[in-house]
Amino acid sequence: MAARLLDGTRIAADIRAELTSRVENCTQQAQRPPTLGILLVGDNPASQVYVNTKSRVGDALGVNVDVVRLPATITLDAAQDVVHRFNCSAAHDGILVQSPLPSSLGPIAEQRLFEVIDPAKDVDGFHPTNVGRLAQGRALFAPCTPSAILELLDRSCINLEGRRAVVIGRSQIVGKPVALMLLHRHATVTVCHSRTRDLPALARDADILVAALGRPAFVTPEFVKPGATVIDVGINRLVDSSIVRALLPVGSPRLETFARRGSLLIGDVHPAVAETAGALTPVPGGVGPMTVAMLMVNTVRAAEKRLEAAV
Ligand code: GUN
């Protein structure tokens, strides 16, 4: 039987609707909208799309998204200056440095930029203070994709307590923080990665399987216990028609989408998993829209905290 689809697009719309009155209150009190400063360095096409989406969603909600774009040739010092400017600005409530940064900035540039963000404006939750607080279960701001996953599970009434969760991927942005957040919710958590032995068998133990490794269609039905909940964090753009045809059954409407657009978004989970899983997030329309909604939640919370601190 086909899995229940966990509709991130619909749930994200609910979350944005719930935020509207909070945005209005903040705007009225501060005499300006809640404001998110984004630093985007270089011309990574996926990052451009993500940042444009954040701006569009912010605009529709009444949240001001102020994007500073710098070329990949910029120095780390110049990039840090932008973050300092956002830190000192009375008009910016939240700050986000879009990842990944160009490799020309050096291997630890991302960490160097995250650690100069004021933790009270760190709506991405990547400052070491917030990472440490997350580990202790008292984050000021939790990272947006892991928050999106937890919110999606909660609003889909999927119980976590005492259940086995397997996370494939150990990134700072998704794998590690989502493992901590599942643990805080009393799941029994295993984190797997590229050197894990017998990954399919470990994954098959999961009641809740989170695929966040960035490899298209990597998680095949042999990784999935029948009836498990599968959360697909991957967003991979495929342009090779032979690969797309090998992944999708003949007659799939998604083949028409590919023919029309010349590319197709595929998650880290193989489409055939829909026949084994009990519940599954679609790509697109699952975790992606939820992540942007949770960024807005964190930005509004940052604005509210600043207003509370001002009285
Ligand atoms: N790149 C992909 N996901 C994210 C995210 O959640 N935050 C930032 N800053 N960059 C990203």
pLDDT of the residue at 101: 97
pLDDT per residue, tens digit, the chain (311 aa), is 699 999 999 999 999 999 999 999 999 999 999 999 999 999 999 999 999 999 999 999 999 999 999 999 999 999 999 999 999 999 999 999 999 999 999 999 999 999 999 999 999 999 999 999 999 999 999 999 999 999 999 999 999 999 999 999 999 999 999 999 999 999 999 999 999 999 999 999 999 999 999 999 999 999 999 999 999 999 999 999 999 999 999 999 999 999 999 999 999 999 999 999 999 999 999 999 999 999 999 999 999 999 999 98
Q: Are 234 and 215 in contact (CB under 8 A)?
A: yes
| Long-range contacts formed by 157-162: CB under 8 A, 24+ apart | 158/208, 158/229, 158/279, 160/185, 160/186, 160/187, 160/208, 161/185, 161/186, 161/187, 162/186, 162/187, 162/188
pLDDT of the residue at 238: 97
pLDDT of the residue at 311: 80
| 304 Cβ below 6 A of ligand 1 | no
Sequence ranges of the domains in the chain: 31-118, 144-289
Which residue type is seen at 73?
A: T
CATH fold match for the domains 31-118 and 144-289: yes
| 98 Cβ below 6 A of ligand 1 | yes
Q: List CB contacts of 155: < 8 A, sequence separation 6 or more.
A: 11, 14
Q: How many CB atoms lie within 10 A of CB 254?
A: 15
Best residue among 53, 99, 101 to mutate for probing ligand 1's pocket (most ligand atoms within 8 Å of CB) is 99
The catalytic residues are 54, 98, 124
Q: Are 35 and 67 in contact (CB under 8 A)?
A: no
Alpha carbons 198 and 202: distance in angstroms, whole number: 7
**31-118: CATH, from 3.40.50.10860, 3.10.150.10, 3.30.930.10, 3.30.1490.20:** 3.40.50.10860
Domain 144-289 is found in CATH 3.40.50.720? yes
For ligand 1, what atom is nearest to the CA of residue 143?
6
Q: 154 CA to middle of ligand 1, Å?
A: 22
Alpha carbons 197 and 133: distance in angstroms, whole number: 31
How far out from the chain centre does Cα 31 lie?
30
Alpha carbons 7 and 232: distance in angstroms, whole number: 12
Could you tell me the pTM of the whole model?
0.97
